[in-house]
A and B are shown apart, each in its own frame.
Chain A
Amino acid sequence: GAVVSQHPSWVICKSGTSVKIECRSLDFQATTMFWYRQFPKQSLMLMATSNEGSKATYEQGVEKDKFLINHASLTLSTLTVTSAHPEDSSFYICSARGTMNTEAFFGQGTRLTVV
């Protein structure tokens, strides 16, 4: 299957700082990327959907000013957690879908810990 690379795999940051997570599709062009958050023992929860060159569509309850999503190219999307707080500590996962396939491939996830 196609490869989606997420970086970093884990990050620890201080409360109040911002953290950027990258999601890259390595061998296909990702027209759509999805960002998920997963709390311990919970299922993946969709945060936002982004199409290349367009503004992201956020799910209800997700603050767009806090979770900035950029999808400026067909191979890269970024999620920036601004002014992070301990309650933002979670596992963030991206997935990407190309134009020629209906399946979305997941990145390996980023463990964010805010202290």
Chain B
Amino acid sequence: KNQVEQSPQSLIILEGKNCTLQCNYTVSPFSNLRWYKQDTGRGPVSLTIMTFSENTKSNGRYTATLDADTKQSSLHITASQLSDSASYICVVPGAGSYQLTFGKGTKLSVIP
């Protein structure tokens, strides 16, 4: 069964600090992995999409890594801001279809 596991479940950090969120997946075959940011009461917004051949991809203060061998991805947030407070969801599509397997997300709280 395709699964996406995220850790930690929740995280509280001080404004200005860095943090790293983890995602392990068992979706096979693998085509790409996506990280989304979901603010409370809003739909998910794409942060980055990583394909099989990409190891690292940055989007501003967000840097995603992918290790396709170990089936792990991480999202690193640098110099966190209060507006980074949200749920971060790791999503892996099934190949050949558009069934998305969602992780449960990591709820990040950035405090002053």
Q: Which residues of A contact B (CB under 8 A)?
A: 1, 4, 6, 32, 34, 41-44, 46, 49, 91, 93, 95, 97, 102-109, 111
B2 part of interface (Cβ distance < 8 Å): no
B43 part of interface (Cβ distance < 8 Å): yes
- Starting from the known contacts A49-B98, A103-B34, A111-B41, 17 additional A-B residue pairs (CB-CB under 8 Å) come to A1-B46, A4-B43, A32-B98, A43-B102, A43-B103, A43-B104, A43-B105, A93-B43, A93-B44, A102-B32, A105-B46, A106-B36, A106-B43, A107-B43, A108-B43, A109-B41, A109-B42
Interface of A is mostly: strand
B99 part of interface (Cβ distance < 8 Å): yes
B93: A residues at CB distance < 8 A: 102
Q: Which residues of B contact A (CB under 8 A)?
A: 32, 34, 36, 41-46, 49, 89, 93, 98-100, 102-105, 107
Chain B: minimal CB distance from A77 (Å): 14
The 5 closest A-B pairs by CB, nearest first: A106-B43, A43-B102, A109-B43, A43-B104, A108-B43
Q: A1-B46, A42-B104, A43-B103 are in contact. Are A104 and B98 (CB under 8 A)?
A: yes
12 A-B residue pairings within 8 Å (CB atoms): A6-B43, A32-B98, A43-B102, A44-B102, A46-B99, A49-B98, A93-B44, A103-B46, A104-B98, A108-B43, A109-B41, A109-B43
Write the chain A residue with the least CB distance to B99.
Answer: A46
- Tell me the bound Cα distance from A102 to B98 in angstroms: 8
Chain B: minimal CB distance from A2 (Å): 10
- Tell me the bound Cα distance from A43 to B104 in angstroms: 5
Write the chain A residue with the least CB distance to B102.
Answer: A43
B36: A residues at CB distance < 8 A: 106
A103: B residues at CB distance < 8 A: 34, 46, 49
A95: B residues at CB distance < 8 A: 43
- Please tell me if the beta carbons of B98 and A34 are within 8 angstroms of each other in the complex: yes
